[in-house]
Structure 1
Amino acid sequence: MLETPRYIMSLPTSLSSLIILISVATAPLAVSGASLTDDAHCGCYLTNGTQAGFFSNHKFYDFRNLPQYAGVPGSVANPNDAANAGVSSQYFNDENWTSVWSIQNWNNSNGARSDASVLMVNSPSNVYIEANGDPNPTSQTWLTLRTQRLPGQSSNQSSGFQSAAEIESVSSGFQFLSMRMLARTVGGSGAITAMFTYRGSDTLANVQEADLEIRTHDPHNLIHYTNQPSYTTDGQTIDQATENATLPDGLSWANWAVHRLDWTPTSSTWYVDGFMVANISFQTPRDPSKVILNAWSDGGQWTGNMSVGDAAYMQIQWFEIVYNSTDAKSKRDDNGPYGRLPLTMTRRDASTGQCRAVCSIDETSDQGQPVMLWASGAQPRNVAGGWAVWVPSVLTGLVLFAMSAGLLR
């Protein structure tokens, strides 16, 4: 029996009924018989959600079974030494990591927020693989991003400094994506952990960013979602840029949950464990961007002020992303320029740009391994204007039937 997605259950009854009807009718085409495969056999990836979409590339980072790299580095008490610290293990020197991610070591001394009261220094020592110490663990390890308030070592550092963690994608060419992580945030008050897309600018109004931010002094069921900027140069708040979401009962950012961002040309949509919790169409990012994860504080009003000695941690079991890219070099370069664009729905070839094998990361039984939804036997269905959702002709009949039956008014 088909399980109704949780985001559908929140829709009006008439629309929900129609979607369930459509799901039943199209299930044999998409989900039924879907089998595990690998990326080499996938032409593109179709996501579920309130705005389904096609993406040309897939990456999966699994931090659950890396005991050979596990170890918690000691805190580096000097800000200069913290910035210059080496990576915590050889895992972060491997090409599989360095070709995609860069561990940051910048500080906010030249670009601090106006109310920042503490020097913040990103340190490679705050990014590490940690052994799972949970009771009844479901993994051996996870990735940790740590931020910690450390005491000063001289009269010039009377307030100490905030040691922070940030990883950025090497590429700034992500343009529309669906990214997810199984993560939790734990530790002391006064810090922020985040997952977001980012395109910087010298002008605040031209910054493009879709972000998820968890403030550790907030209630455990509150998360902030924003299409930045959320304020103007004169300090005025842009209310329509942000949704401060209360999670459904039973969900908490302090517990393991799958956090997901779908960035499309028309909106940014966020989910937690399959529940849609925020959707913002105002100033949706439009241009190629980076992907960033971080844990930080600067003692300002937004982050709060962490007590000396306290620390907070974002712990991640896995991170997964399907995306389109403007990079000249991408997974699909062997198939021509279509690898950098949203695709059509049958296995791609260089002459037509078609995708002849449609895969899913949503319907899989093995996290990180896609399943094949349909292959070359299906009729090509074009993606107009670089972005569209497949609407086969059978749906037209279903809509007419639903209207006559009173399901859709």
Structure 2
Amino acid sequence: MTPPDPIPRWPTSLSSLVLLIAATIPLATAATPPLTDHSKCGCFLTNGPEPRFFQFHDFWDFRGQTQNAGVPAIKATAEANKMAPFSSKYFSSQTWEKKWITNFWDNQENTRPDATALMVMSRNNVYLEANADSKSDSSPQTWLTLRTSRLKDPQTNEEFQTAAEIESFHKVKFASVRMLARTIGAPGAITALFTYRHADRLMDVQESDFEVRTRDIDTTIHYTNQPGYNDTGDPIEAATSNVTLPGGLRWTDWAVYRLDWTPGNSTWFVNGQQTLQKAFQAPRDDSKITLNAWSDGGRWSGNMSLGESAYLQVQWLELVYNSTESGAGKDGGIHKRSTGGRLVERAEAKNCTAVCSIDETPNTGQPVMLWGAGNGRREMMGGAAGWIPYLVALGLLWVSAR
């Protein structure tokens, strides 16, 4: 009697196995998100321990602005600083002014309790600067500089501080803000990136900030959900955290600083590494995004020596955000759902048929399409698709060994 044919099994030769694994590789390759234009994105999903959806994306690249670069001379008087024109046509362009305000004001009517110097925000201190130290093709040609300096006014014979500030034209309701930046210069200054909602009473101010104090050791930075002090100038201890930069970084080094303002939390990152999350006094209401470099001679900033300066230098600035001002609806038209066992914000389907990421992109400033817009569905698998060939291979080895 002829024995029955054995049960068919998968091929066990190495060459056959390799062919089968190779056949599964397109499954992983297909999961690689393609580059896209942000106008094709319905929303943007951030990474990190608390992923969030945002509706809008802006990217400002200051690295190739050679035609607008030039360092303006410092204005000698407080009045000249306050009334100074823009440093270049870049800051008076419609493109810039639709998104940003270059501030000019002084602190005569809104002085911190411990301030000892007149501070004047000046458009003259916001400028595009050519990189005089470029040593390779990858170095930036230019960057945005915010400058602050201590001067003596020849008209009044009084010392004052000239400073710099830009703020977003529109308010946002939650955001993830990133900048490639560094701080250099003399002790006695503050450089900062923060959200800000003005209030007549100090204790009603809402603000979440990242700050460098140039009088500190250059590995220390500060995170605060304001107000950080009360009406008498005494600090609110729980509001501020002093943090050491990770990886041996100094604030004089170029690094990517990130602030995620989400419901109930402010979360900060440096070069992609989370450094702090703070719920205490986290902002709640629509706020503006602000960058500045300043000093008022008070306890927080310290007192800069006469004739010295400090600088916040920024290669690029990137934001994803929601905005009630843009007709997006309450909280940007978002609600919560469960994904992979944790709650994340998810855009309403009508507003988010195409989901993009600024975190998974190989090109800073250009998002990639995660899913939608004909790209299929890719639910932030964290690279799980890349394991498919290996799982198939393990399965084949198991079957062939039986």
TM-score, length of structure 1 as denominator length: 0.79
Task: Give CA-to-partner distance per residue, 1:18-53, whole Å, 9 cap, x none.
Answer: xxxxxxxxxx89993101000121111000012110
Distance 2:378 2:130 in 1: 47
Task: Give CA-to-partner distance per residue, 1:298-349, whole Å, 9 cap, x none.
Answer: 11111111111100000000000000001145xxx7xxx589323789xxxx
- The equivalent position to 1:182 in structure 2, one of 180, 187, 196, is 180
Aligned to 2:238, what secondary structure does the other structure show?
A: helix
* Aligned residue-pair number: 345
What does residue range 1-400 of structure 1 map to in structure 2 within 5 Å? Answer: 32-137=31-136, 138-154=139-155, 156-158=156-158, 160-172=159-171, 174-328=172-326, 337=329, 340-342=332-334, 353-375=350-372
How much has 1:194 moved relative to structure 2? 0.3
How much has 1:235 moved relative to structure 2? 4.0
Task: Give CA-to-partner distance per residue, 1:44-88, whole Å, 9 cap, x none.
Answer: 100001211000000000000010001000010011111111101
AA in 2 matched with 1:140: Q
AA in 2 matched with 1:51: E
Task: Give CA-to-partner distance per residue, 1:189-215, whole Å, 9 cap, x none.
Answer: 100000000001112221100001100
How much has 1:357 moved relative to structure 2? 0.9
| Bigger-Rg structure (1/2) | 2
Aligned to 2:49, what secondary structure does the other structure show?
A: coil
How much has 1:230 moved relative to structure 2? 1.6
Distance 2:303 2:113 in 1: 14
- Structure 2 residues not aligned, in runs of 5+: 1-26, 338-346, 385-402
Distance change in 2, residues 1:163/1:328 (3 Å) = same
Identity %: 51
Please, what is the CA RMSD of the aligned residues? 2.6
AA in 2 matched with 1:149: R
How much has 1:276 moved relative to structure 2? 1.1
How much has 1:152 moved relative to structure 2? 2.4
Distance 1:201 1:354 in 2: 32
Q: Which runs of 4+ in 1 moved over 6 A?
A: 28-31
AA in 1 matched with 2:356: C
Distance 1:124 1:324 in 2: 28
For the 8 Å contact 1:343–1:355, the answer to whether it is kept is: no
- My pick for the range that moved more, 245-254 or 365-374, is 245-254
Distance change in 2, residues 1:37/1:339 (3 Å) = farther
Aligned to 2:106, what secondary structure does the other structure show?
A: coil
Task: Give CA-to-partner distance per residue, 1:210-239, whole Å, 9 cap, x none.
Answer: 001100010111001011112222444322
Distance change in 2, residues 1:32/1:145 (3 Å) = same
Distance 2:326 2:267 in 1: 28
- Structure 1 residues not aligned, in runs of 5+: 1-27, 382-389, 395-409
Distance 1:351 1:368 in 2: 24
Aligned to 2:11: none
Distance 1:353 1:265 in 2: 22
Distance 1:102 1:249 in 2: 35
